Structure 1
Amino acid sequence: MVAVRRATAPLLLAGALLLTGCSDDAPAAPPPPSPAATTASPAPTPSPSPSPSPTSSPSPSSSPVAPPPVAAGKVVVLDPGHNGGNGAHPAEINRPVPAGRGQTKPCNTTGTATNAGYPEHAFTFDVAQRVGKALADKGIRVVYTRQDDTGVGPCVDRRATIGNEANADAVVSIHADGSEAAGANGFHVAYSSPPLNAAQGAPSTRLAQTLRDTMRTSGFSAANYIGTNGLSARADLAGLNLSTRPAALVECGNMRNATEAARMTSADGRQQFASAIAAAIEAYLAS
């Protein structure tokens, strides 16, 4: 979620979102015979080849081997925002930690929720698991910043470190917003700006744009209350500031909007979010 969330639920951002074809080179043609070879003594007439045995059979042809997926071997870090145990440990999650650009932020937050009480931490964890399964099925190695939805943290600086230590090809943090502005709806994708290192420059911008474009083509509308055309350049998000890998953060929608809340609460809706995010990551990795 972003700064427009409730004061009791400051934004958690995490360290963080793919196709080209290949062609086989044809074997080189053998060189033409040299003049010396054409003037050499004629070769002796070969003896007639014996007839093949009637019991011989042709060698079976080998089946073609399918090429590996384009993104196989890549590493993706998925960062589901917040955690289910944060609310019971205020001292721990309120502890200040480095946030980049000379800032500090609370270690973590509780996140937001729908008006009916469905929490952001449960939504992000479920979507991240679905995204991870889709990527793993394509041969991509997936690393999560948290392994369950009952723990505390990890802190935002640690989440960024997980992506850096994994040498991730892409880091995607998954969140949902909690704006109470009238009519606020839609997704947006945040990226670090101005960049603090090379990975935060063109690679992170391209990751954010690919996520934005794929979310749109998957039927999601860009936010009407924050960012521009679904993108939000940010200098205050710890997970993005501290990342040395291509990273972006997806705010999937506004949990306080009734229509979007209904989509996030349903398993089918969460699968729609996950499918779009996974497709975007694949497209980014393969580009």
Structure 2
Amino acid sequence: MRVTDVLIGVGCVVLVWCQTATVRAQPAEGVAALKAALEGRQVTMSIDMPASHGGIDVYPQREPDIDAEAYGLRLKEFGTALPRGTRAPITLIKVNTKNIEIHLAGGGYGTRNDPVVVPRVAYIPKSARELDLEKERDRTRDPARKKEIERQLLSLSMDRSRDTMAENRRIELEEAIKKAEIARKRLERGSRINVWYPDKRLEQWVPSPADLMQVLARYVDFSDPRLASLRKGMTTADVYAVLGFPSRRRPGTQGDYATSIDTWETRREVIEVTFVDGLAVDITSTQK
């Protein structure tokens, strides 16, 4: 085999390896883009979010994309950590093989290190005295002695039953206190949205921040909450009172009326308000 053939073969292998490495690197780049765009971002809940790490499961390929029955059961079982209208940060974006986890204000209670209540039932075994008396009862032939032993065994058994009941009451009280503490912690640990994709698509492809935001749009609102206070017909002074002074202002005219397009720009959003004769006639918001 000629040296040139060997070099060509090696070159082909290197090219294939590089192409494969590029394909494998793309999901990592997509994950980095999601984390950069969404982690730390404040969003508004559009629905009540369960106080559990299970949160809600969203299936973009289905219609409807959420199991309403399962959602209702989680709310009933765990309560609401983030009520509708609550503002909360996205604290983590985690891309797994089959789903993307969007952690809200901590991601929800119920992960591996969170304590749980394991039901217990007290059992107090027979004492050495009881065992010895039972052996003596089985050996004795004296009816009077056997009757006395039975009386003692009954007394010891009743004492053990009382002790068992008292211990179970103590355990129940301890568990009730622990359950109440866990219920309180659940309400403080946030929730999450799990977005599921078929097969193992996420090993080869990750949605863009804009695509994922569109999937989540029914459940969280990414827009600036100040927009809810804006209405067409508001005066320039009223709009400025809500948004502050604009980043840019483009004055103009429309017939006999003075116009302007005022722009407010944040790190994640651009808000534009068009004024005609000092009144807002159009309000738009664009995500970056």
TM-score grouping bracket, smaller chain normalisation? under 0.3
TM-score w.r.t. length of structure 2: 0.20
TM-score w.r.t. length of structure 1: 0.20
Higher helix proportion (structure 1 or 2):
2
Higher strand proportion (structure 1 or 2):
2
Larger radius of gyration: 2
